[in-house]
Amino acid sequence: MRMVDLIHKKRSGEALNEQEIQYIVSGYTQGDIPDYQMSALLMAIFFNGMTSEETSILTLAMAGSGEMIDLSAIAGVKVDKHSTGGVGDKISLIVGPIVAYLGIPVAKMSGRGLGHTGGTVDKLESIPGFQIELTKEAFIEAVNTNKIAIVGQSGNLAPADKKIYALRDVTATVESIPLIASSIMSKKIASGADAIVLDVKIGSGAFMKTVNDARVLARTMVDIGKSLNRNTIAMITDMEQPLGREIGNANEIRESIEVLRGTGDKELTAVAISVAAYMSVLGKAFNTFEEAQEAITDIVTNGKALETFKRFVANQGGDPGVVDRPELLPTAAYHFEVVASKDGYVSQIDAEQIGIAAMLLGAGRAKKEDQIDYAVGLTLNKKIGDAVKHGDSICTLHANREDVKEVETMIREAYRIDSEKPAAVQLIYDVIL
Ligand code: URA
């Protein structure tokens, strides 16, 4: 087989077969196929797309390029959850303990944050003592005893995807539905999930900017999952504004605990309940979404999953005292208020700008090597639809430095205040089964 012929085939709009895709993925991962040929192929895929069969084969080939995590020693349906990324997205921290409380095993591998979006692993590490690295045996043991463990992604998970994604990043081929879908799903398949709930975000802080694009991506990923015998559901949820009120690592742990206590932000709570409900239906704890939603609303309202969260934290070396004494989490030295410049209603909050502002305070990384500060972040005191008066605080900055002028300006610019009350924000746009 010659790579040049496969590039030609794809360029002509023909579908590649299993042998050909395997040849490309293993050849590129091992360094036998050079970047320039792979770049040409990626551009041909970008323009000509892939059939659903090609996309599933590519997913499986990338998943199989490294370690395939075997979770068969854990009883029950292992339901994973993946978000396409957003600002203030702490849903995994909330749904993990809820689903575990229901007896469904949560054996989750999560990533770190980069750019304007945060990562679950960084957020957990803001809990004093929390260890995100467990041996495979300890990971399985933790899930078997506590029903939940969350660890960092293994370095050898889908290495083909890692290499191809880095190349896509510099060849303007990231925004291709089959390439995004196979990239995300390859990591889910390699990490051993039996069933998957995908949270596809849309809006100013998300990868997908329109509901239609999100639907196509969601449908492609659900079809990949099903073709590989993983029951998969995709929700399309809002990221026009950050999710919840807190952004920053310790801040988001604090807010997740509030939701688990039943006293959290209503919109964040509603999205978390829906995600947990779909996970628990896939995990076979309930037959219907409605039953699951009712039971999980009760769990959240009555703080029933807080003990599960404490056990999960303690089992990974963290201080479970943070649940009842959030002041044990890292706190920032300075607090500054950004105030409204006029009366009206908040009509827009640019999630990406807010994410970048939090990153500039030190809550996130501009480059992979950057160190993050767990204590810093933002509290959004006003969200879309809230009435504000001139001089009201719209956002509190938690900072570890005194000069935050640049960040204050970004936040002021990210908020738009109009005289008319905007339409209510839609939280969930669609669910793809
Ligand atoms: N996230 C991924 O993991 N891969 C993509 O291609 C895009 C987003």
Q: Are 284 and 377 within one domain?
A: no
Give the Å distance between the CA of 255 and the centre of ligand 1.
27
Pocket of ligand 1 (CB under 6 A): 165, 179-180, 183-184
Domain of 355 in residue numbering reads as: 331-418
- Catalytic residue list contains 183: yes
Cα(412)–Cα(392) distance, integer angstroms: 12
Token representation of residue 57: 């084969």
* CB-count burial class (<10 Å; 0-12, 13-18, 19+) for 392: middle
Q: What CATH number does the domain containing 230 carry? A: 3.40.1030.10
Per-residue confidence (pLDDT) for residue 113, from 0 to 100: 84
State the catalytic residue, choosing from 81, 168, 304, 398. 168
Same domain? For 27 and 116 the reply is no
Please answer whether residues 231 and 195 qualify as being in contact, where contact means their C-beta atoms are separated by less than 8 angstroms: yes
Each residue's pLDDT tens digit, 140-167? 999 999 999 999 987 899 999 999 999 9
Q: Which two tokens stand for residue 244?
A: 């919840």
| Domain shared by 297 and 366, yes or no | no
Q: Is 199 helix (H, G, I), strand (E, B) or coil?
A: strand
DSSP 321: G
Same-domain status, 299 and 182? yes
Nearest to 63 by CA among 231, 224, 226, 283: 224
- Ligand 1: residue whose CA is nearest its atom 8: 180
168 is annotated as an active-site residue? yes
Distance (Å, whole) CA 233 – CA 192 = 16
| Cα–Cα distance for residue pair 268/89, rounded to 1 Å | 9
Q: What is the C-alpha to C-alpha distance for residues 298 and 349, in angstroms, rounded to an integer?
A: 31
Angle in degrees, 0-180, between the axes of helices 159-169 and 52-63, rounded to the nearest 10? 120
CATH code of the domain in which 11 resides: 1.20.970.10
Side chain identity at residue 92, one-letter code: S
- Per residue in 273-301, pLDDT (tens digit) is 999 999 999 999 999 999 999 999 999 99
CB 398 within 8 A of CB 375: yes
SS3 268: helix
Q: Which atom of ligand 1 is nearest to the CA of 168?
A: 6
Q: Which of 45, 59, 165 to mutate to test the pocket of ligand 1 (most atoms within 8 A of CB)?
A: 165
The answer to whether position 62 is within a domain reads: no
Domain match, 166 and 281 both: yes
Query: Which residues in the chain show pLDDT less than 70?
Result: none
Same domain for 317 and 335:
no
Ligand 1 atom nearest to CA at 179: 6
Token output for 102: 């229901």
Residues 236 and 365 in one domain: no
CA dihedral 206, 211, 212, 214 (to 10 degrees): 40
12 and 159 inside one domain: no
Task: Say how far apart CA 218 and CA 368 lie, in whole Å.
Answer: 28
- Ligand 1, residue 207: give the atom nearest the CA: 8
Query: Which of 10, 82, 112, 311 is the catalytic position?
Result: 82
CA–CA separation, 71 vs 137, rounded Å? Answer: 10
Alpha carbon of 223 to ligand 1 centroid (Å): 17
Residue nearest to atom 5 of ligand 1 (CA): 180
Number of domains the chain is built from: 3
Rounded-to-integer distance, Cα 104 and Cα 88, Å:
25
The pLDDT of residue 84 is 93
One domain, residues 37 and 91: no
Write the CATH number for 397. Answer: 3.90.1170.30
* CA distances in angstroms from 168 to 24, 133, 224, listed in the order given: 15, 29, 21
Whether residues 317 and 360 fall in one domain: no
DSSP 131-164: -----HHHHHHHHHHHSEEEEEPPTTSSHHHHHH
| 8 Å CB contact between 191 and 155 | no
